[in-house]
Amino acid sequence: MSPEELVQAALAVRERAYAPFSKYLVGAALLTKSGNVYTGCNVENSSYGLTVCAERNAVFKAVSEEGKIEVEAIAVVTRDLASMCGACRQVVNEFGPKAKVYLADCDGNVNATSVDALLPGAFRFEND
């Protein structure tokens, strides 16, 4: 899947976000090494600590469907090219420390980076 297609998948799922409090819709599309794509959107809750980000939704969906995964790339679409929060960076790092990251907005602007660049010196517990 091309980066453009991954961004389009994230843009499409962004419309399903449940964000009645922040009004900040986020969509994510995750590509695993196996070639499967998993999408997620942010889901807010009136008890704010229970809110789940789009990126973690996509990762958790991939794990629940495939088991052990390796993230090849993730696209995140917001209204303003925002980056992933720290928690999402750490979760994506767990499954794809070398993964490509495409940060996009609704106007088609895309910034390409990597998990390594977003989370230098990341905590990793190797348990093989």
Q: What is the pLDDT of residue 121?
A: 87
In which domain, by residue range, is 75 found?
Answer: 3-118
Residue 125 belongs to a domain: no
User: Is 123 inside a domain boundary?
Assistant: no
| Catalytic residue (one of 4, 5, 55, 66) | 55
The rounded distance, in Å, linking the Cα atoms of 91 and 23 is: 24
Kindly state whether residue 126 falls inside one of the protein's structural domains.
Answer: no
Residue 82: give its domain's CATH number: 3.40.140.10
Cα distances from 118 to residues 1, 15, 62, in angstroms, run 22, 26, 21
* Structural domain count of the chain: 1
How confident is the model over 13-22, as pLDDT tens digits? Answer: 999 999 999 9
- The annotation status of 85 as a binding-site residue, yes or no, is yes
pTM: 0.93
Instruction: Please write the tens of the pLDDT for every residue from 51-105.
Output: 999 999 999 999 999 999 999 999 999 999 999 999 999 999 999 999 999 999 9
Does 55 participate in catalysis according to the annotation? yes
